[in-house]
Structure 1
Amino acid sequence: MKQVDSDKTMLSILKILDKQHDIVIGSRELSRQLKMHGVNISERTVRYHLRILDERGLTKVFGKEGRMITPKGREELINARVSEKVGFIISKIETLSYLTDLNLESGQGNVILNISCFPEKKLSEALRIMKPVFSSPYIMSDKVVLKKSGEKIGDFPVPKNMVGLGTVCSVTINGIFLKAGIPVTSRFGGVLQINSEPIRFTALISYEGSSLDPLEIFIKSRMTDIRSAVSTDYGKILASFREIPVVTLEKTLQLKENLKSKGIGGILLVGNPNQPLLEMPVGIDKAGMVIVGGLNPIAALEEAGIQAVSKAMSTLYPFSELVSFKDLY
């Protein structure tokens, strides 16, 4: 049991160091932040665990100032204790929904971005491929941010020889609805078949039991056909299935139209009370809602052979600082 507790403590330390990877953090600050992770230990005990992490090459010492996580430490964080990460995605959705504070009237406030990186030398080709997608109904918004190598999107540094593209994440809808008093339950991420109109989901992964973002999995598995959906109205796109309380249905439809007028789309369908939507059953006194995936433009790149590394729900970003894709290409 002690070994399990020790492993949990060291994993929590790595999480804190990774979240603030660009600064050196001392044992006192680590002890304070560990309490947020449910780990209540003294500075002395923190130093004990740090020595173990140092010996394993997972952290780097900066004199008396503290530590920073190493690349090996990040790798350990990715691979360690998968069982603890089950449900991580739904937890992240709930946290970011709460932190989204976009004011639709003023256009000020933060939205959630997905960040995708692809080779700088492929930029012109990538923009050409994504252009039709950004003119289609299968995007959250045509507002984006594009940064070059060495620049940052929020707190995310764009790697060398790459460009970073930030696209509006569909979880932004959850946050906006929450601020409007409408709780949204994210049920599944999936692949949605299109035949002039949405037909059915052909693949689904529950957010509740996943340690990875479902849409990232579908992209890398090449299960989409976004380009055909855009050009011929027949294909497969990324989308998610969510639920709202029946009593909020009228307000939801009003908010959907208001969002569209402000440059945020994404809501493909809203179902009827207590009735299945696209063959998907809903809970008691619930209505279904289908929302497009914010990573659909990136899926088009993968289909065309341009590999991208995506991180869904990556950062909060001021909506007013985003630009129209048309301004890029």
Structure 2
Amino acid sequence: MSESEYRMIEILRILSAQDKPTGSKVIADELRNKGFNLGERAVRYHMKILDENGYTERVGYSGRQITDKGLEKLEKGLIYDQVDFIHSKFEEMIYLTDFNYINQSGNVVVNTSTVYNEESINIMKNIFESGLSVSPYINLNRVGNDGEIEVTTLCGTTIDGILLNEGIASQLQYGGLLKIEDSRPIEFTEVISYKKTSITPLDAFSNSGLTSILDVINEGNGIVPANFRLLPGVSRQKTIGIVEKLNKIGIGGIIDISEEGNDILGVPVPDGMIGMAIIGGITPFCALKEIGEEIDIKIAEEICDFKTLTPITSKIAPVLQSAKHEKRAKIPFLLSKSWNLIQQVDFDVEKRKGDIIANVSYISKDELNDALDIMKETYDNNPKYINPYYKLMNHPSDNDKIGIATICSLSIDGILIKNGIMSTPKYGGLLELAEPPLFIDLISYNGTTVDPHKIFLSKNMTSITRDVGPNKILASVKEIPYISRDHAIHLLEILNNIGFSIYKIGKPRELVYNSKVDNYNFGVITGGGLNSIGAIKEKGIDIEVKAIEKLIPFEEMDRL
């Protein structure tokens, strides 16, 4: 993003905050407050461009206002802010919570979602009765004439707000998937940090196929969404006392609280701190998705008065037993796992030989020819954005399936490091191929256990094969020290000519496709190795998506 585009995004941000048409003088004053030295004449120049693109419109002599198209542009154009905003939004909600659990009055944080039939409410009631929710207090609001029902439920962030009002500072760390065996919480299998992501972590895990809440209720085994916090160790007894009082009034969902400095459910806890796991407030909604119900989930979107909520049931029979505090292996974070593979990349750019990191996804052998045709067509239609290399591999245990290996973008980090250039994977993202291309979602590689691109594919967020409108493809952001820029450009150009999908090499302090890297570094945007796999998935072929799987020799790969 150029400096001029950045200024226009800031102008759109100012207009979006106004409730009436705004003139160039007010905009110029607001820009100066933000550190932009832009006079009224320069503002009018930028406004003319925004008008021409349909992002703003003049309202008589009163000034300009932002259009719906401008609001959409603003949402996409501020993705570099959004990766910090998610965590800040929750902190804001925690601060605004003023619920007094003694007299049961005040504001609480809620999730408001929409369901589309009465049966969904009955299913949700079963979830509340199982105790797999923060609270049975909800609000039902029937909207429209098509059977739509807005369901407001209590968000677990309310508990953080209550603790803060009692002088206990909780630190929101992760949202993830928690494994249950024999009705006991065992360990987190996947987590995403609340920092440096544009997607709320539990929203990332909310699609069908990732949770098995109904199995937990019926069989005692499965996966549920849960959050993880850290709290000061000295607050442990006071926290437990507050939790016990909250349980008595119908606010719960606490799965486990660790001893000071003890790891919990596979998540490390620093010395002097305690860990606390809380059931995801959206658990009842995720259960609906498991059975194919249509539902629109909005997480921690607003504050409401607790008195507007009423219990959906008074029959709570918790299905979960206490966790066994057994010593478990710490959950392996993605970047830690990846560094070890990156270190082993030994591809020689001159000889075009050596090991690269591969994603290996599995498909039925009966559908292999169709899958390869889709991959080739996708590459032929857009060779700039699709990596053409693949390798067929045997499935480790199923003779009816076959693996399709593709080049993982982390191979590029390994190649640069092998040549003396530090390259750090920064984000996995969803890139919209507009003009200019812009990231519309980003998840940091640091603080997650799952490859970001797998999240986007599991939520069907790509449109790699779309014929109408801008395509949405997978891409990654690398961060490289500025001092090595010339050397890096030389190697990246060679890799691009080979077919490694280098989309953009940024300049220092440049917003590259709307992504941001640290000062004294520059960003490099590369194609996601799963784009051709995503194309197969979009065409309705069942494929088990795997990422960052193993090392394979580049010279053994075929080309589409």
Tell whether the structures are fold-level matches, with TM greater than 0.5. Answer: yes
Q: State the 1:148 CA deviation.
A: 3.1
Structure 1 or 2, whichever has the larger Rg, is 2
Partner in structure 1 of residue 22 of structure 2: 26
Q: State the 1:305 CA deviation.
A: 0.8
Q: State the 1:67 CA deviation.
A: 5.0
Partner in structure 1 of residue 304 of structure 2: 317
SS across alignment from 1:265: coil
Amino acid in the other structure paired with 2:150:
G
Kept in 1, the 8 Å contact 2:114–2:149? The answer is yes
Q: State the 1:274 CA deviation.
A: 0.4
What is the alpha-carbon distance in structure 1 between the residues aligned to residue 41 and residue 100 of structure 2? 45
Q: Give matches, 1:9-158, under 5 Å.
A: 9-15=7-13, 23-27=19-23, 49-65=46-62, 68-118=65-115, 122-149=116-143
Q: Out of 129-138 and 33-42, give the one that drifted further.
A: 33-42
What is the alpha-carbon distance in structure 1 between the residues aligned to residue 33 and residue 120 of structure 2? 41
Partner in structure 2 of residue 169 of structure 1: 155
TM-score by length of 2: 0.51
SS across alignment from 1:148: strand
Q: Give matches, 1:297-316, under 5 Å.
A: 297-316=284-303
SS across alignment from 1:311: coil
SS across alignment from 2:297: strand
Amino acid in the other structure paired with 1:24:
K
Kept in 1, the 8 Å contact 2:208–2:286? The answer is no
What is the alpha-carbon distance in structure 2 between the residues aligned to residue 316 and residue 201 of structure 1? 29
SS across alignment from 1:173: helix
Q: State the 1:87 CA deviation.
A: 2.5
Change (3 A) 1:255 1:88: same
Alignment equivalent of 1:286, drawn from 273, 281, 298: 273
Amino acid in the other structure paired with 2:95:
Y
Change (3 A) 1:275 1:124: same
Partner in structure 2 of residue 153 of structure 1: none
Q: State the 1:281 CA deviation.
A: 0.9
Alignment equivalent of 1:277, drawn from 258, 264, 267: 264
1:231-259: per-residue Cα shift (whole Å, max 9, x none)? Answer: 22221111011100001001100010111
Change (3 A) 1:96 1:16: farther
Amino acid in the other structure paired with 1:92:
K
What is the alpha-carbon distance in structure 2 between the residues aligned to residue 113 and residue 220 of structure 1? 20
What is the alpha-carbon distance in structure 2 between the residues aligned to residue 71 and residue 161 of structure 1? 28
Kept in 2, the 8 Å contact 1:144–1:324? The answer is yes
Q: State the 1:225 CA deviation.
A: 0.8
1:241-297: per-residue Cα shift (whole Å, max 9, x none)? Answer: 110000100110001011112221121111111000012111220010001111111
Equivalent pairs counted in the alignment come to 312
Kept in 2, the 8 Å contact 1:24–1:62? The answer is no
TM-score by length of 1: 0.84
Q: State the 1:30 CA deviation.
A: 6.1
What is the alpha-carbon distance in structure 1 between the residues aligned to residue 176 and residue 35 of structure 2? 33
What is the alpha-carbon distance in structure 2 between the residues aligned to residue 280 and residue 107 of structure 1? 33
Kept in 2, the 8 Å contact 1:224–1:238? The answer is yes
Kept in 2, the 8 Å contact 1:193–1:202? The answer is yes
What is the alpha-carbon distance in structure 1 between the residues aligned to residue 280 and residue 222 of structure 2? 14
Q: State the 1:217 CA deviation.
A: 1.0
Q: State the 1:186 CA deviation.
A: 0.9
Kept in 2, the 8 Å contact 1:132–1:230? The answer is no
Amino acid in the other structure paired with 1:192:
L
Change (3 A) 1:245 1:324: same
Change (3 A) 1:32 1:241: farther
Kept in 1, the 8 Å contact 2:179–2:189? The answer is yes
Alignment equivalent of 1:211, drawn from 198, 201, 214: 198
Partner in structure 1 of residue 371 of structure 2: none
Q: Is the aligned partner of 1:193 residue 2:179?
A: yes
Q: Give matches, 1:185-264, under 5 Å.
A: 185-195=171-181, 196-220=183-207, 222-264=209-251
SS across alignment from 1:203: strand
Gaps of 5+ in 2: 315-560
Gaps of 5+ in 1: 151-158
Name which structure has the greater RCO, CA cutoff 8 Å, separation 6+.
1
SS across alignment from 2:205: helix
1:34-66: per-residue Cα shift (whole Å, max 9, x none)? Answer: 788666867776665444333222234443455
Q: Out of 167-176 and 183-192, give the one that drifted further.
A: 167-176
Q: State the 1:98 CA deviation.
A: 1.0
Q: State the 1:172 CA deviation.
A: 1.3
Q: State the 1:104 CA deviation.
A: 1.5
| RMSD (Å) for aligned C-alpha atoms | 2.9
Q: Out of 137-146 and 52-61, give the one that drifted further.
A: 52-61
What is the alpha-carbon distance in structure 2 between the residues aligned to residue 270 and residue 238 of structure 1? 17
Q: Out of 98-107 and 211-220, give the one that drifted further.
A: 98-107
Amino acid in the other structure paired with 1:211:
S
What is the alpha-carbon distance in structure 1 between the residues aligned to residue 75 and residue 256 of structure 2? 35
